[in-house]
A and B are shown apart, each in its own frame.
Chain A
Amino acid sequence: ELQLVESGGGLVQPGGSLRLSCAASGFTFISYRMNWVRQAPGKGLEWVSYMTSSSSNIDYADSVKGRFTISRDNAKNSLYLQMNSLRDEDTAVYYCVREAYYYDSSVFDYWGQGTLVTVSS
Chain B
Amino acid sequence: AIQMTQSPSSLSASVGDRVTITCRASQGIRNDLGWYQQTPGKTPKLLIYTASTLQSGVPSRFSGSGSGTDFTLTISSLQPEDFATYYCLQTYNYPRTFGQGTKVEIK
Contact = CB atoms under 8 A, between A and B. Distances in A.
Interface residue tally on A, bucketed by range: 20 to 34
Interface residues of B, number: 26
B94 A108 contact: no
Contacts, number: 63
Given A44-B87, A95-B43, A102 B95 contact: no
B39 interface: no
A105 B31 contact: yes
Tell me which of B30, B45, B95, B96 has the highest count of chain A C-beta atoms within 10 A of its own C-beta.
B96
A107 interface: yes
Contacts of B87: 44-45
Contacts of A61: 95
A50 interface: yes
Interface in B46-89: 46, 49-50, 53, 55, 87, 89
A108 B55 CA distance: 11
Nearest to A110: B46
Interface of B: 1, 30-32, 34, 36, 38, 43-46, 49-50, 53, 55, 87, 89, 91, 94-101
Interface of A: 35, 44-47, 50, 59-62, 95, 99, 102-103, 105-109, 111-114
